Amino acid sequence: MVDHLREYYKIGDERVLEAVNRVPRHLFVPDALRSQAYKDNALPIAARQTISQPFIVARMTELLQLKGHERVLEIGGGSGYQAAVLSALTRRVYTIERLPTLAAELKEKVVRLGLRNVSVRCDDGTNGWPIYSPFDAILVAAGGPEIPQPLADQLEIGGRLVVPVGHTQTSQMLVRITRTADGFIEEECGACVFVPLIGQHGWKADGADSKN
Ligand code: SAH
């Protein structure tokens, strides 16, 4: 899988490739899909959500430019796979998952796998996690209609926010925001497809969204 990420997708950050190589993805996918854990696909997890495709995990992580000392916020903890990759690469990871069943499973998994530098919270992550802010890096693993302003505001000067943004719920552009002393720099980093970011600064929940 790592050779594919390096050669086909041109992921160049060796620390990211090493972290992806080290994190056992099969521990984050449902038992019935374990044989597919090392294929380059997103896969369904509980509550109609997905574990992200390895390429997009590697790409977003690379865009955060982590050196090892950072405090990172993730929105959309889901299966915990992205959080585990971040955990291997940096000092401290805070992850927020809005669905209580997924958040409870994630808390249990973090303890079971001994990911001691990962904290999990069940909430609407579009408001960030103010008491631990500012963050050196923020990664949003679900697609919203716009950049959630509270997340940009919770970046350290020099900090990076990577977020999928799209006018429809079915496709997005990966955007990187870098906070500077006098504002924000915005870069477009390629098309992507994520499950919807639902919350105060995301899409409104619809009737089919059971919040469980
Ligand atoms: N990083 C995860 C990807 C999970 S899919 C992984 O590696 O598996 C995206 C997740 O974002 C879903 O679990 C969904 O419930 C969650 N989500 C959507 N909107 C959210 C919000 N406003 N706050 C926190 N989590 C949210």
pLDDT at position 169, please? 86
pLDDT at position 75, please? 98
Question: Which of 54, 118, 120, 122 is CA-nearest to residue 87?
Answer: 118
**Domain for residue 62, yes or no?**
yes
Count of Cβ atoms closer than 10 Å to residue 87 Cβ: 24
Question: In sequence order, which residues have a C-beta less than 8 Å from that of residue 141 and are 6 or more positions away?
Answer: 52, 60, 74, 75, 76, 77, 78, 82, 194
pLDDT at position 211, please? 55
- Residue 158: give its domain's CATH number: 3.40.50.150
**Domain for residue 183, yes or no?**
yes
Compute the C-alpha angle 27/43/61, nearest 5°: 75
Residue nearest (by alpha carbon) to ligand 1 atom 6: 51
Does the annotation count 52 as an active-site position? yes
Residue nearest (by alpha carbon) to ligand 1 atom 14: 76
Strand partners, 204: none
**Domain for residue 136, yes or no?**
yes
**Domain for residue 173, yes or no?**
yes
**Domain for residue 74, yes or no?**
yes
Measured CA to CA, the distance from residue 35 to residue 209 in angstroms comes to 29
**Domain for residue 31, yes or no?**
yes
Low pLDDT (below 50) residues in the chain? none
**Atom number, ligand 1, closest to the C-alpha of residue 198:** 19
Domain coverage including residue 154: 2-192
**Domain for residue 207, yes or no?**
no
Options 35, 52, 87, 133, the catalytic residue: 52
Domain count, the chain: 1
**Domain for residue 201, yes or no?**
no
Task: Determine if the peptide bond prior to 134 is cis (ω within 30°).
Answer: yes
